[in-house]
Structure 1
Amino acid sequence: MPAIEGAQRPFWMHQIVEYLIGLVLIAASFQAPKPMVPAVMGMLIMLNAAIAKGPASAFPLVGRTVHRWLDVVVMLLLVVALFQPAFDVDSTGRLLLGAMTFVMFFIWLNSDFSEKTERKQDKHQQKTERRERLARPASEEIGKKAGRAVGGGVNAAKRFRKKMKDQQ
């Protein structure tokens, strides 16, 4: 799967948004005349967020890469629930299911699903490269530069002295 260029959302934010999406569906089902489908889908989304290993997980059972594909399954189930004829869903419920599917897809598309250890290694590698770029020069290099500067100054003084002698 190609990674999207630019900044990606941290996984904790992805989980919090999934909890909120589930909460919105469950809260909307309290006002709906036919609440079963939005309530079940809201609980499914919250369960999916709760079982993923991450900072906001309640029951860390599956890794982030598995969660990534479970999100796809949940989005497909939301689309199926949107168009299924078996259970009655009012128009507001259908609209809400479609909107939450779009929000989940957008969040899924821009989320960082990399495991924590991989990110630590990447950060460690980035810190090492930065240190190498900004590192102080070695003492030998400093000594060479200082010697060249002093030698250049001594040579310039000798040339100046010679020039002054020649002018007299």
Structure 2
Amino acid sequence: MGGLLAEICARAGLETSIVTPHAIVSRWTSNNLEHSRIQAGLLELGVAIHPHRLLKSCRPGEIDIACTFTGKAEIMPCATLIPVTSRMPEDSLWHDLKARQDDWADAGITSVKLIGDAYAPGIIAAAVYSGHRFARELGEEIDPDATPFKREAIAVE
């Protein structure tokens, strides 16, 4: 995600830097063979890449970063910070509603389901799938032990 956001900023003509605690930008893309293309594209756009660095703090006009190995601190100028951070679910609404389960019947509510990023933050496609699946299953009795897709039966002799 960070690589994509950096690319969008650079293509918009903004001076762009990306700070990552990893050796490469968009580390997950090394699993699907996209990394070389992404890293090369960022470098061609003039994005400054700062690997093995952690964001320590930020204040107007600058950020403090530190080496992941030595802890050596650096100050970088920064007009705008776009954090791409851990994927923590924001499920407080679900918890609040569950705590008021006794009030549901009066409001005509029969169930509350946690879906999408509130359940498990992920890529946009996963959130779209979660919402689509919820809409397909709305009002249906779903056997939690059933396989929701066709599988090829494999026979080994």
Fold shared by both chains (TM-score > 0.5): no
Q: Which has the larger radius of gyration?
A: 1
TM norm structure 1: 0.24
More helix by share: 1
